[in-house]
Amino acid sequence: MTSKPEHHEHGHGHGQTPRVERSLLRKWFPHPILSLVLIGQWLGLNNSLAPGHIVVAVLLAGFIPIYTANFWPNRPKLRAPITFLVFAVVFLWDIVVANLQVAYLVLFHSPAKLKSQWLCVPLDLCQPEAVAMLAGTVSLTPGTISSDLSADGRYLLVHCLHVDDPAAEVQKIKDRYERRLKAIFP
Amino acid sequence: MNLPEMPEMPVDAWGWVVLVSLLIGGCFVFVGSFGLLRLNNTMARMHAPSKATTVGVGGVLIASIFYFYGVVDEPYRVFPAQDLLIVFFLFLTAPVSAHFMAKAYLHKHSPQESDLPQPHNGSGWATFKSRA
């Protein structure tokens, strides 16, 4: 899918750093993006840019990733920020459309005639973070709920409220969400 | 604390935006709750509240953002960081709780396992294979 050559650098642009230095950096800053998100959340919760809040935010952003690193040992590889924006727009649009569809089903469709069904979606995604995002996307779009993952993590069990063509629904999930997530999480 | 009174809702563009988004949000919360009552089995019922958490809460939050950032004046005006964080936390937690409810449902109705589509490579669903 991606024609770009694969290069395994995490895009920090430090060039060649000695191996010891890098692992030390990795030890004290296991998840830089998580740290940034934590700073943003703390400042957002307090809704303030006062120096005291910034100090606490930086402390939290420093310690929480270190303490939780054992639960999240590998850093996800991220690519294609533009695709992420496209994904977000498609996701929000689909939420609105699916809301209207499910509202119609709830209000004007006889509950006994709903063709509820389980779907088995085969996954091409390899990174666990990507699978989690796909499952969350499927659940937040009304009408579909991700219910289980296969024991080897290669299939997602999805419950559909009303589906006429199961194969087309599976293909829609793969085309609209999984293809873009595959580009973001190579 | 001696704050001035909250202003009346003005009849201008901002006021209408707040009004309409509150109404849309309220309608979807209602439809979500009504679906919970009307649908006839557990898995179908789980689909209804997902409307309340997305467009329902979304409409109320859009109204809140426009009201507190556009309509009211200085002592009450706030930057809508907390409203955006509500969306963030909601989108983070709603799928997880739905996933666990679905898993609990599968455990309670395990004879249904034969009705489930099975993974094509024969690995089975994680809920029924509880081992490392």
Residue A37 has pLDDT above 50, yes or no: yes
Which of A13-27, A46-60, B55-69, B78-92 is predicted least confidently? A13-27
Selecting from A116, A142, A147 the residue whose C-beta is nearest the C-beta of B51 gives: A142
User: Residues near A34 by Cβ (< 8 Å), separated by ≥ 6?
Assistant: A61, A64, A65
Q: How many structural domains comprise chain B? A: 1
Q: How confident is the model at residue A78, as a pLDDT?
A: 82
User: Residues near A122 by Cβ (< 8 Å), separated by ≥ 6?
Assistant: A154, A155, B119, B120
Q: How confident is the model at residue B114, as a pLDDT?
A: 64
- Per-residue pLDDT of B10-48, as tens digits, reads 777 888 888 999 999 999 999 888 888 888 888 888 888
pLDDT band at B122 (very low <50, low <70, confident <90, very high): confident
Residue B130 has pLDDT above 80, yes or no: no
User: What ipTM was assigned to the predicted interfaces of this complex?
Assistant: 0.80
Selecting from A147, A151, A155 the residue whose C-beta is nearest the C-beta of B129 gives: A151
Whole-angstrom distance, CA of residue B1 vs CA of residue B16: 31
Contact flag A139-B50 (C-beta cutoff 8 Å)? yes
On whether residue B119 sits in a domain, the answer given is no
Kind and range of the H or E run holding B109: none
Q: How confident is the model at residue A1, as a pLDDT?
A: 38
- Per-residue pLDDT of A2-24, as tens digits, reads 344 444 444 444 444 444 455 77
Q: Over range A18-34, report the average pLDDT.
A: 72
- Per-residue pLDDT of B24-34, as tens digits, reads 999 999 988 88
pLDDT above 90 coverage of chain B, percent: 9
Q: How confident is the model at residue A126, as a pLDDT?
A: 84
Is residue A72 exposed (0-12), middle (13-18) or buried (19+ Cβ within 10 Å)? middle
Residues of A with CB under 8 A from a CB of B: 41, 43-45, 47, 95-96, 99, 102-103, 106-107, 111-112, 114, 116, 118-120, 122, 135-136, 138-140, 142-143, 145-155, 157, 159, 161
Selecting from A95, A151, A157 the residue whose C-beta is nearest the C-beta of B55 gives: A95
On whether residue B49 sits in a domain, the answer given is yes
pLDDT above 70 coverage of chain B, percent: 92
Q: How confident is the model at residue A39, as a pLDDT?
A: 94
Residue B88 has pLDDT above 60, yes or no: yes
Q: Where are the domains of chain A?
A: 19-71, 81-184
| Chain A residue with minimum CA distance to B47 | A143
Q: How confident is the model at residue B23, as a pLDDT?
A: 93
B26 lies in which domain range? 13-106
On whether residue B26 sits in a domain, the answer given is yes
Which residues of B are less than 8 Å from A45 in CB distance?
Answer: 81-82, 85
User: What is the DSSP-derived secondary structure letter of residue B7?
Assistant: P
On whether residue B117 sits in a domain, the answer given is no
3-state secondary structure A92-132: HHHHHHHHHHHHHHHHHCCHHHCCCEEEEEECCCCCHHHHH
On whether residue B6 sits in a domain, the answer given is no
- Per-residue pLDDT of A136-154, as tens digits, reads 999 888 788 898 888 888 8
Q: How confident is the model at residue A22, as a pLDDT?
A: 56
Nearest-CA distance B9 → chain A (Å)? 24
On whether residue B60 sits in a domain, the answer given is yes
| Chain B residue with minimum CA distance to A106 | B35
On whether residue B112 sits in a domain, the answer given is no
Which residues of B are less than 8 Å from A96 in CB distance?
Answer: 55
Contact flag B123-A145 (C-beta cutoff 8 Å)? no
Selecting from B79, B99, B106 the residue whose C-beta is nearest the C-beta of A135 gives: B99
Decide which of A9 and A105 is more confident. Answer: A105
